[in-house]
Amino acid sequence: MPSAVAEAPFVPGNSSKILQTILPYFPSQSVLTTQDYIDLETTYGADNYHPLDVVITKGQGVWVWDVEGNQYLDCLSAYSSLNQGHCHPRILQAMVEQAAKLTLTSRAFHNDQLGRFYEKLCQLSGLPKVLPMNSGAEAVETAIKAIRKWAYTVKGVPDHQAEIIVCSNNFAGRTISLVSFSTEEQYQFGFAPFTPGFKVVPYGGAAALEAAITANTAAFFLEPIQGEGGIIIPPEGYLREAERICRKNNVLLVFDEIQTGLGRTGKMFAFEHEGVKPDGITIGKALSGGFYPISAFVSTHEVMDVFNPGDHGSTFGGNPLAAAVGRAALDVIVDEQLPEQAAELGAYLISGWRQIKSPHIHEVRGRGLLIGVELNPSAGGAQRFCKALMQEGILAKETREHIIRFAPPLVITRSQLDWALERIERVLMAS
């Protein structure tokens, strides 16, 4: 297989040659039904998710297909991991070519892909140093380690005393340390004891942040827009105010851009909306366009320089396959002007939603193509609307109980949004 793939010439916009070379490695047409697949998962799998009853087998651009051949518009994008759309041909090409050449070296050796991926990420983020990981949670763990070590070795906080200020209603991932500062009861229940060293302030209130800072405060760590928390946009000026307070107190400002970054909100990174300069950011999700778990902590020299060889690492972090895929995924965001697309089409979709005069809608809010539709408590929960939307060919998922999240791939078109809005209106007006 490797030589066959390496020889397959790539035709932009037509990945069929590549598909022909890899298709023999997949089992032929499925014979199982939707229920069979679901039964297999529930029989053998942990019950830690509650998916819609749809079994997807194929995706292209904004569309996915289930095992029965039904077509859906993906309005979740794997929680904003698919900004570039499903199976983007350019990222696919990079992945297949690199997979046939070199996949993993570990960081015990250099590889010829990593440096170029770093360079691209630094150019786009405006921050000079990268530490690559795999999942988003690991990138946040990395940020927390960097913050703490900076506190002890640069700021001079007494050993074991470093504090990190976070916001209520945050989401940062599922490791023990990250759920330690969650304010969601379910994310913590049964998982104690927790990691100390975090202080929670309300999201959006600069005065509370200022009041919480002590001589031992290392950083303020937050999402520029809270994604899992329900697409919560802080008051205008909050990030700038947070920056001012952090600077005044020698406290690092670190943003979790895992969901908001890479074009989703209409800028490359959401912190750009307020023109602030963070000391570090975490990136994940769309960093591979959905092909591969790739994440990174990106920061200033001062912060990243706390790491010395052996301090921290990951066997797969920064592997050549990830680096090649990540670089292609970033190229697509830039070349296809996805942040600009998100800004323009997001405004269009939000105004479309706002024209729907349903008694169930409490508020439509969003930035770019990260949109939350909060329903009234009397609507009976967002889940039933997601099920009804699925019947209309739209896949969306609730976040929290009463909020429908709308985050289609950024490659969506205006006419596809019109198609969706027609169906959304039908569903929201129906019951």
Give first-to-last CA distance, the chain, whole Å: 53
Q: Which of 227, 234, 326, 366 contacts ligand PLP by CB under 6 A?
A: 227
Using CA atoms, how far apart are residues 122 and 131, in angstroms rounded to an integer?
Answer: 11
Shortest distance, position 151 Cβ to ligand PLP, whole Å: 21
Would you call the peptide bond into 193 cis, given omega within 30 degrees of 0 as the criterion?
yes
If one asks whether residue 141 binds ligand PLP (CB under 6 A), the answer comes out as no
Angle between helical axes of 414-430 and 338-354 (0-180°, round to 10): 30
In the complex with ligand PLP, the residue whose CB is nearer, 136 or 352, is 136
Helix (H, G, I), strand (E, B) or coil at 66: strand
316 flagged as catalytic: no
Is 171 among the residues that bind ligand PLP (CB under 6 A)? yes
The answer to whether 172 contacts ligand PLP (rule: CB under 6 A) is yes
CB-closest chain residue to ligand PLP: 136
Among 135, 142, 182, 319, binds ligand PLP (CB under 6 A): 135
Query: Residue 121 Cβ, how far from ligand PLP at the closest point, in Å?
Result: 17
Q: Kind of pairing, strands 370-375 and 217-222?
A: unpaired
Please confirm, yes or no, whether 171 is among the known catalytic residues.
Answer: yes
Residue 289 near residue 88, CB atoms below 8 Å? yes
Q: Using alpha carbons, list the distances in angstroms from residue 324 to 101, 148, 319.
A: 11, 31, 9
Q: Of the listed pieces 134-142, 158-166, 232-240, 273-281, which binds ligand PLP according to CB under 6 A?
A: 134-142
The answer to whether residue 223 forms part of the interface with ligand PLP (CB under 6 A) is: yes
Determine if 368 is a binding residue for ligand PLP (CB under 6 A). no
Catalytic residue (choose from 117, 171, 291, 297)? 171
Binding of ligand PLP by 173 (CB under 6 A): yes
Is the separation of the CB atoms in 416 and 406 below 8 Å? no
Q: Is 372 in the site for ligand PLP (CB under 6 A)?
A: no
User: Would residue 335 show up in a list of annotated catalytic residues for this protein?
Assistant: no
Among 83, 259, 265, 288, interactor with ligand PLP by CB under 6 A: 259
- Please state, in angstroms and rounded to a whole number, the distance separating the CA atoms of residues 41 and 32: 13
- Applying CB under 6 A, among 263, 284, 317, 352 the residue interacting with ligand PLP is 284
64 lies in the site for ligand PLP, by CB under 6 A: no
Under rule CB under 6 A, residue 79 binds ligand PLP: yes
> Which of the following is catalytic: 74, 117, 149, 256?
256
Of positions 8, 62, 239, 258, contacts ligand PLP by CB under 6 A: 258
Alpha-carbon distances, residue 51 vs 42, 83, 389, 410 (angstroms): 11, 21, 14, 23
- Read off φ and ψ for residue 58, nearest 5 degrees: -155, 145
Distance, CA of 373 to CA of 403 (rounded, Å): 5
Rank residues 258 and 332 by Cβ distance to ligand PLP and give the closer one: 258
Contact indicator for 181, 198 with CB cutoff of 8 Å? yes
Q: What angle do CA 125, 86, 417 make, to 5 degrees?
A: 90
Active site residues: 171, 256, 285
Footprint of ligand PLP (CB under 6 A): 79, 135-137, 140, 171-173, 223, 227-228, 256, 258-259, 284-285
